[in-house]
């Protein structure tokens, strides 16, 4: 088959496309037309020639590739049935346009042989006879499905961006590479009460505070030139004419070649934050001021208190000390009278004298304790290394009441050496051990265990007894001066011993305390710094 026979368009549609009647063909023009027809056949667009009723008379190779229908199956069929054409307007109106203008162009939806939908840009050219009736139509379809899909995706993404940008709490804007603003979000206009025409470019300066606008512009321009992100804080005028503070930032957006294409900026209202920070700073300053004043007052008061305390202690010491003289005289003379006059005295008189002597001795004990407490409080205490175990053994050895058969006092060693003051520690331990063997039930042999335990960077010495124990309520009080427990009336004492323990512990930079349950013994502790 000759080429010309295969391509009916070469002889009919192309000349008619120019609206010129087919001229007498020479060999050259026939050849040229064949080439054109071949070109149309090979072009990627699907070219179809059909009669007005839709019957296909030509089906290019491009159409074969586009729709999947081979030429022999397409020719003779009706285009719109074959391709299930969906028109953007009625076919009558399209035909009307063709009659009037000879051409029509628009977007059509077609389906391939496999049923895949295609969007095509369609160009129709009508061949009209002398009466102006359409005899044939040339239809040229280019596939724009992908382009349409990406246009749609772009439109959707722009819409998403717009919705997002208009609904964020910040004011937002975009500039070109030179800082010329071409877009603001809705909030910008809502807040400033301005119009796009007034704001574009560098129009934003109009809503800036006159005291800040120059600095802001300068710093923004510096960032533009350096291509560095921009940040600044400044007031912006609202539609009410008042100013609010905004933290503002802009980031450069680069194109695929790495060049800055535009800047995206935001302004975040931080007025409340600033006000809160300012009031916080004011409150902090005031607090600091008050704390300093308080410290001063406390220092003055402490000095005053120390002074009056020292005076009181000195007074107490000298009073106690001076009281011992007459008291000793009472004791001595009572003894003399008892020795010399016992024979001539009545039993009642002897009883009275014994009571006087007993009371005087108790008073002397009290005075001695008060003096000891006063010494512990007033004396200079120099801290050094004290071997606890050695000290305890010496104390036990010196006192019969701490030895068998009177009591069982056991040291669960080894005990560490501590940083302390030997005389003060001797007093503490003597008091603790004395109490441990004193406060026991009638007929009970006192059993005392002494051991130590590390507590963080300190060491705790425990004195555990099998005594009567102490009620919870009393445990917090018994370290106070002259405080005695509820059941202590049955036991001799002055209520000074534990006050000495606590005071001495404090002076050695330590502490003292107790754990106890009535009827189940007590565990007194003394906490000090260990010495390696
Ligand atoms: P005193 O022993 O002279 O009464 P302290 O100051 O030494 O005074 O003790 C205060 C009180 O604490 C005591 O009266 C007693 O009630 C209670 N107490 C102290 N040590 C013990 C102990 N080991 N067991 C029970 N109670 C104790």
Average of pLDDT values for 282-294?
A: 94
Q: Do domains 162-269 and 380-528 have the same CATH topology?
A: no
Instruction: Supply the pLDDT for residue 413.
Output: 84
Residue 528 CA from chain centroid, whole number: 40
Helix, strand, coil share of the chain (percent; to 5): 50, 25, 25
User: Distance between CA 59 and CA 68 in Å, rounded?
Assistant: 11
Rounded to the nearest angstrom, the distance between the alpha carbon of 495 and the centre of ligand 1 is 7
Distance of CA 355 to the CA centre of its chain: 75
Q: What is the three-class DSSP state of 479?
A: coil
What count of Cα atoms within 13 Å lies in the side-chain half-sphere of residue 338?
16
Q: What is the arithmetic mean of pLDDT over 214-243?
A: 95
pLDDT (0 to 100) of residue 31: 75
pLDDT of residue 18: 40
Measured over the CA atoms of residue 239, residue 242, residue 248 and residue 254, the dihedral's sign is positive
Which atom of ligand 1 lies closest to the CA of 486? 16
Residue among 271, 85, 256 nearest 191 (CA): 271
Residue with tokens 């071997």: 387
- Residue 77 — pLDDT band, cuts 50, 70, 90? very high
Residue reference for tokens 């007034």? 198
- 2 confidence band (pLDDT: 50, 70, 90): very low
Q: Please state the rounded mean pLDDT for residues 197-206.
A: 92
CA angle 186, 191, 197 (to 5 degrees): 60
> Has residue 68 got a pLDDT over 50?
yes
Range in 10-14, 105-109, 308-312 with the lowest mean pLDDT:
10-14
Least Cα distance to 81 among 106, 50, 123, 60 occurs for 50
Ligand 1 pocket check for 8: Cβ under 6 Å: no
| Per-residue pLDDT at 531 exceeds 80 | yes
Q: What's the CA-to-centroid distance between 529 and ligand 1, angstroms?
A: 25
Give the span between the Cα atoms of 265 and 219, in whole angstroms: 14
Class of domain 380-528: alpha beta
Pick the CATH number of 162-269 from 3.30.450.20, 3.30.70.1380, 2.40.420.20, 3.20.20.330: 3.30.450.20
Tell how far the Cα of 514 is from the centroid of ligand 1, in angstroms: 11
- As given in the structure block, the two tokens for residue 195 are 């119009």
> Does the beta carbon of 488 sit less than 6 angstroms from any atom of ligand 1?
yes
Q: d(Cα 222, Cα 234) in Å, to the nearest integer?
A: 17
484 lines ligand 1 (CB under 6 A): yes
* H or E element at residue 498: helix 497-507
By alpha-carbon position, which residue is closest to atom 20 of ligand 1? 435
Residue 20 has pLDDT above 70, yes or no: no
Residue pair 439/467 in contact by the 8 Å Cβ criterion:
yes
pLDDT in tens, 497-526: 999 999 999 999 999 999 999 999 999 999
Tokens of 296: 């001063």
> Where do the structural domains in the chain lie, given as residue ranges?
3-143, 162-269, 275-374, 380-528
- Tell me the pTM: 0.49
Write the pLDDT tens digit of every residue in 252-267.
999 989 999 999 999 9
At residue 27, the pLDDT reads 59
In Å, how far are 20, 44, 86, 116, 117 from 111, measured between CA atoms? Answer: 34, 17, 9, 5, 4
Mean pLDDT of the chain: 89
CATH class belonging to 3-143: alpha beta
- What would the two tokens of residue 463 be? 């004195």
What's residue 22's pLDDT? 43
pLDDT for the residue 1? 35
What spatial distance separates the first Cα and last Cα of the chain, rounded to whole Å? 116
Q: How far is the CA of 202 from the CAs of 213, 227, 266, 459, in angstroms? A: 11, 18, 15, 74
Output the pLDDT for position 34: 73
Tokens at 59, concatenated: 């089906």
Per the CB < 8 A criterion, the answer to whether 432 and 409 are in contact is no
Question: What is the reported pLDDT for 29?
Answer: 66
Question: Within a 10 A sphere around the Cβ of 338, how many other Cβ atoms?
Answer: 16
464 Cβ inside 6 Å of ligand 1: no
345: Cβ–Cβ under 8 A, 6 or more apart, which residues?
Answer: 353
């Amino acid at each position: 088959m000759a080429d010309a026979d295969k391509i009916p368009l070469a002889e009919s549609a192309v000349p008619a496309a120019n609206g010129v009647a087919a001229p007498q063909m020479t060999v050259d023009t026939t050849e040229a037309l064949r080439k054109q027809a071949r070109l149309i056949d090979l072009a990627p667009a699907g070219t179809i020639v059909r009669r007005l009723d839709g019957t296909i008379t030509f089906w290019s190779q491009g159409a074969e590739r586009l729709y999947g229908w081979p030429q022999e199956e397409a020719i003779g069929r009706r285009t719109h049935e074959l391709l299930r054409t969906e028109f953007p307007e009625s076919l009558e109106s399209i035909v009307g346009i063709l009659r009037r203008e000879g051409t029509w162009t628009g977007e059509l939806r077609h389906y391939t042989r496999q049923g895949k939908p295609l969007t095509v840009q369609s160009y129709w050219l009508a061949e009209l006879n002398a009466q102006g009736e359409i005899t044939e139509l040339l239809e040229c379809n280019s596939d724009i499905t992908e382009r349409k899909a990406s246009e749609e995706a772009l439109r959707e993404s722009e819409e998403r961006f717009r919705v997002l940008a208009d609904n964020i709490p910040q004011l937002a804007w975009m500039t070109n590479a030179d800082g010329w603003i071409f877009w603001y979000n809705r909030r910008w206009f809502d807040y400033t009460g301005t119009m796009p025409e007034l704001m574009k470019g560098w129009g934003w300066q109009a809503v800036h505070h006159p005291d800040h606008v120059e600095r802001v512009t300068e710093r923004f321009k510096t960032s533009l030139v350096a291509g560095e992100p921009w940040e600044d804080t400044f007031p912006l005028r609202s539609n009410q004419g008042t100013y609010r503070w905004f933290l503002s930032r802009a980031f450069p957006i680069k194109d695929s070649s790495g060049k800055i294409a535009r800047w995206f900026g935001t302004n975040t209202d931080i007025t409340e934050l600033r006000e809160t920070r300012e009031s916080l700073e004011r409150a902090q300053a005031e607090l600091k001021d008050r704390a300093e004043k308080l410290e001063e007052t406390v220092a003055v008061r402490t000095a005053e208190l120390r002074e009056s305390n020292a005076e009181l202690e000195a007074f107490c010491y000298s009073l106690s000390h001076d009281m011992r003289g007459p008291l000793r005289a009472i004791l001595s003379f009572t003894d003399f009278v008892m020795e010399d006059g016992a024979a001539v005295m009545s039993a009642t008189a002897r009883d009275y004298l014994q009571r006087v002597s007993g009371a005087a001795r108790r008073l002397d004990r009290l005075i001695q304790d008060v003096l000891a407490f006063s010494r512990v409080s007033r004396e200079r205490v120099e801290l050094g290394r004290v071997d606890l175990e050695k000290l305890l053994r010496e104390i036990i050895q010196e006192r019969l009441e701490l030895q068998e058969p009177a009591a069982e006092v056991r040291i669960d060693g080894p005990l560490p050496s501590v940083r302390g003051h030997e005389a003060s520690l001797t007093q503490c331990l003597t008091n603790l051990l004395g109490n441990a063997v004193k406060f026991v039930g009638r007929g009970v042999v006192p059993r005392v265990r002494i051991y130590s335990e590390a507590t963080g960077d300190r060491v705790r010495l425990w004195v555990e007894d099998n005594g009567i124990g102490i009620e919870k309520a009393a445990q917090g009080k018994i370290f106070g001066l002259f405080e005695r427990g509820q059941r202590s009336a049955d036991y001799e004492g002055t209520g000074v011993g534990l006050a000495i323990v606590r005071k001495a512990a404090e002076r050695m930079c330590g502490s003292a305390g107790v754990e106890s349950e009535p009827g189940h013994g007590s565990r007194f502790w003394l906490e000090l710094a260990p010495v390696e």
